[in-house]
C-alpha cells in the first residue's frame, strides 16, 4: 500500500510525479531542485544558495510526515558540475549533522530547468 505525500511548504511537482510516496515504513521523496515554494521561481545566487533551497524543500517534505534529516537513510545527489562537490558537501553537512545517510553523488549532463543541483531522499519512519 502506498500513500501520496504533498505539502504546500515545498514546490509543487512540475511533472507527472508526487512530491513523496509513503510505503512500507519508508518515505521516498522525489528529487528536489532549488525552487522557491512560494513563488515557484528558481533560486539563484550560485550553488550554495541552490543547495540550501533544495535542502529546505526536502526538510518541508520530511516535516509534513513528522520526520527530520536524522530519519533519512539514503540520498542521491545530482550535480551539473562535479567542481561544486566541495561546496555542496559543506552545506549538506550542515543538515545531516550526525549519523549521515548512505549517499550517491554523481555529475549529470543536465538537470531540470538547468539547475546546478538536485537531491532525492529516502527516510524511514
Cα dihedral: 109, 74, 100, 20 (round 10): 90
Residue 48 has pLDDT above 90, yes or no: yes
CATH number at residue 108: 3.30.1330.40
CA distance 81 to 112: 14
CA distance 76 to 70: 16
pLDDT of residue 7: 97
> Is 13 contained in some domain?
no
Q: Which domain holds residue 97?
A: 2-8+18-124
Mean pLDDT to the nearest integer, 33-57? 96
> Is 29 contained in some domain?
yes
Query: In sequence order, what DSSP letters do the residues of 5-30 get, joined into one string?
Result: E--TTSPPPSSSS-SEEEETTEEEEE
Please tell me which residue in 42, 49, 91, 105 is annotated as part of the active site.
105
Q: How many structural domains does the chain have?
A: 1
Residue 89 has pLDDT above 90, yes or no: yes
pLDDT of residue 44: 87
Confidence of residue 124 (pLDDT cuts 50, 70, 90): very high
Q: Is 33 a catalytic residue?
A: no
Amino acid at each position: 500500500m502506498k500513500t501520496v505525500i504533498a505539502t504546500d511548504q515545498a514546490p509543487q511537482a512540475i511533472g507527472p510525479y508526487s512530491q513523496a510516496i509513503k510505503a512500507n515504513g519508508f518515505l521516498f521523496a522525489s528529487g528536489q531542485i532549488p525552487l522557491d515554494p512560494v513563488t515557484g521561481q528558481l533560486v539563484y545566487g550560485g550553488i550554495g544558495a541552490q543547495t540550501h533551497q533544495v535542502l529546505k524543500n526536502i526538510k518541508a517534505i520530511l516535516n509534513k510526515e513528522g520526520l527530520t534529516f536524522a530519519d533519512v537513510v539514503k540520498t542521491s545527489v545530482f550535480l551539473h558540475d562535479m567542481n561544486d562537490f566541495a561546496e555542496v558537501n559543506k552545506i549538506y553537512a550542515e543538515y545531516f549533522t550526525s549519523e549521515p545517510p548512505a549517499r550517491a553523488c554523481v555529475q549529470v549532463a543536465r538537470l531540470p530547468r538547468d539547475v546546478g543541483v538536485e537531491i532525492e531522499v529516502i527516510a524511514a519512519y
